[in-house]
């Protein structure tokens, strides 16, 4: 393996043991020649940089791949059974994801630099990263600090073995030692896979046989914002509407249309489903337990009804149109529609009883947004095109249930499906 050691700081030295690298410094660049050492395996070539500061004794070991990105990604799954397994060498590229399923623990790619270490070293590095800001957390968020301390204790106990380590590297340049090589390691499984286009993009590469495909209208909508002229719905002045096809994570594609009026300042956005009506309707029920629930992303199609059982409130489909907003934004729209923009709350048509009742409703909506009321929000969409963010995704949300149901004849009638002919319509 060819490796080149570059000086990092004028008062430190790069080394990996006295028998491998010569001590180097910025004052002697002519001697900084490539050093040839044996590779860790027959196919893996890496550059190892080890830095040690004689003043504070801080040390760091990083690696970079000296070869090309492999044709396929690689995933290692190791059953760590004993303390001896802690000594296995691991080369973890910066593009690799590290997971410990038993603790639901993950180190995402590109959050750490590549390293040459052991399994014990990986655990120590994870513990050091979590402990780094603990003094600050103890002062500002003691409850969070306590939970992190508990998790750190769990990580430290893993050094006794009894867990699974997964290293998934789309570049194919990570490595987990097989101490029984060339025999098979029963505790270690290795799989190769074809990278996704997204992984290729993250690695900055493009398949050689990939050709530019002519774009169609759908591709244009995915890659750019389309603009067309319209009139403001408030003052009827000329305005422009922007339209974009957006992929909602864990859901589907939708079309977002936003209008901004320069004359009166009115802004609005509408959401149209980017796909067909689903085979089953969807009913989403969220139990509000914390004010942070207000920040959940929400997609309400024009066919979705909204219910708040504790307030005996129901808003029919299309009342506030299709929207992509947050739960707080939806509640504000409901309050504006029922209270602020209600024509029966002012003028000759208003009565004191009605005004007081609507005012009380508005105050309850404010309490819900402040997290002071224990309520449920129900999104009932017979077309199945509405969505409420699961903050625990991909795991189930303990406070949210999603129910799929068969539509009634009346619901199909409202959607215009009963008279729709999808087969033999050309005859």
Q: pLDDT digits over 119-157, tens only?
A: 999 999 899 888 988 888 888 888 999 999 999 999 999
Weakest mean pLDDT among 24-33, 101-110, 368-377, 407-416: 24-33
The pLDDT, as a whole number, for residue 185 is: 86
Q: pLDDT digits over 283-313, tens only?
A: 999 999 999 999 998 888 888 889 999 998 8
Q: pLDDT digits over 214-248, tens only?
A: 445 555 556 678 888 888 877 888 888 888 777 76
Topology given in CATH for the domain delimited by 221-273: N-terminal domain of TfIIb (2.20.25)
Long-range contacts of 405-414 (CB under 8 A, 24+ apart): 405/280, 405/281, 405/282, 405/283, 406/280, 406/281, 407/280, 407/281, 407/382, 411/281, 411/382, 412/382, 414/303, 414/317, 414/382
Classified as helix, coil or strand, 163 is strand
Instruction: Say if 73-202 and 280-342+359-415 have the same CATH topology.
Output: yes
Q: Which two tokens stand for residue 190?
A: 């290795």
Topology given in CATH for the domain delimited by 73-202: Jelly Rolls (2.60.120)
The pLDDT, as a whole number, for residue 8 is: 31
Task: Identify whether 182 is preceded by a cis peptide bond (ω within 30 of 0).
Answer: yes
**Quick one: what percent of the chain has pLDDT higher than 90?**
26
Residue ranges per structural domain of the chain: 36-65, 73-202, 221-273, 280-342+359-415
DSSP of 13-72, one letter per residue?
EE-S-TTT-----TT-GGG---EE---SSSS--EEEEEEE-TTT--EEEEEEE-SPPPSS
Q: Average pLDDT, whole number, for the chain?
A: 79
The pLDDT, as a whole number, for residue 343 is: 57
Q: pLDDT digits over 245-277, tens only?
A: 777 665 667 777 888 888 888 887 777 766 667
CATH superfamily of 280-342+359-415: ZPR1, A/B domain (2.60.120.1040)
Structure-model confidence comparison of residues 197 and 355, the more confident one: 197
Dihedral of alpha carbons 332, 337, 339, 340, sign: positive
The pLDDT, as a whole number, for residue 223 is: 67
Neighbouring-strand partners of residue 299: 324, 387
- HSE-up of 72 (CA within 13 Å, CB side)? 7
Cα(387)–Cα(305) distance, integer angstroms: 12
Query: Whole-model pTM?
Result: 0.44
Cα separations in angstroms, 189 against 79, 82, 108? 9, 17, 21
Q: pLDDT digits over 34-47, tens only?
A: 454 444 444 455 66
The pLDDT, as a whole number, for residue 3 is: 44
């Amino acid at each position: 393996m060819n490796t080149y050691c570059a000086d990092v700081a004028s008062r430190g030295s790069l080394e990996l043991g006295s028998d491998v690298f010569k001590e180097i410094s910025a004052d002697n660049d002519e001697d900084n020649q490539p050093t040839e050492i044996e590779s860790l395996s027959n196919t893996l070539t890496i550059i190892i940089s080890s830095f040690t500061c004689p003043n504070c004794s801080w040390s760091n070991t990083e690696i970079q791949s000296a070869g090309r990105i492999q044709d396929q990604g690689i995933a290692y799954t190791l059953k760590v059974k004993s303390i001896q397994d802690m000594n296995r060498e691991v080369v973890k590229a910066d593009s690799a994801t590290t997971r410990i399923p038993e603790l639901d623990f993950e180190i995402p790619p590109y959050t750490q630099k590549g390293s040459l270490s052991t399994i014990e070293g990986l655990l120590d590095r994870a513990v050091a990263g979590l402990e780094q800001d603990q003094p600050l957390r103890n002062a500002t968020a003691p409850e969070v600090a306590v939970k992190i301390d508990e998790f750190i204790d769990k990580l430290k106990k893993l050094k006794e073995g009894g867990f699974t380590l997964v290293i998934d590297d789309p570049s194919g340049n990570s490595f987990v030692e097989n101490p029984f090589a060339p025999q098979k390691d029963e505790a270690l499984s290795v799989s190769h896979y074809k990278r996704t286009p997204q992984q290729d993009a993250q690695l900055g590469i493009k398949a050689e046989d990939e050709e530019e495909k002519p774009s169609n209208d759908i591709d244009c909508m995915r890659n750019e914002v389309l603009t067309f002229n319209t009139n403001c719905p408030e003052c009827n002045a000329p305005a422009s509407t922007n339209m974009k096809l957006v992929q909602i994570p864990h859901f589907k594609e939708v079309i977002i249309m936003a209008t901004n009026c320069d004359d009166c300042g009115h802004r609005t956005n509408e959401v149209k489903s980017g796909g067909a009506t689903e085979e089953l309707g969807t009913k989403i029920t969220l139990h509000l337990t914390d004010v942070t629930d207000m920040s959940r992303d929400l997609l309400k199609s024009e066919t979705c009804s909204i219910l708040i059982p504790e307030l005996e409130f129901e808003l029919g489909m299309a009342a506030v149109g299709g929207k992509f907003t947050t739960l707080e934004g939806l509640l504000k729209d409901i309050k504006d529609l029922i209270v602020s923009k209600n024509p029966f709350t002012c003028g000759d048509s208003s009565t004191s009883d009605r005004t007081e009742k609507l005012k009380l409703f508005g105050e309850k909506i404010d309490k819900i947004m402040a997290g002071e009321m224990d309520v449920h929000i129900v999104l009932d969409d017979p077309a199945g095109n509405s969505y409420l963010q699961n903050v625990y995704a991909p795991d189930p949300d303990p406070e949210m249930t999603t129910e799929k149901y068969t539509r009634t004849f009346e619901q199909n009638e409202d959607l215009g499906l009963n008279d729709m002919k999808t087969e033999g319509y050309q005859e």
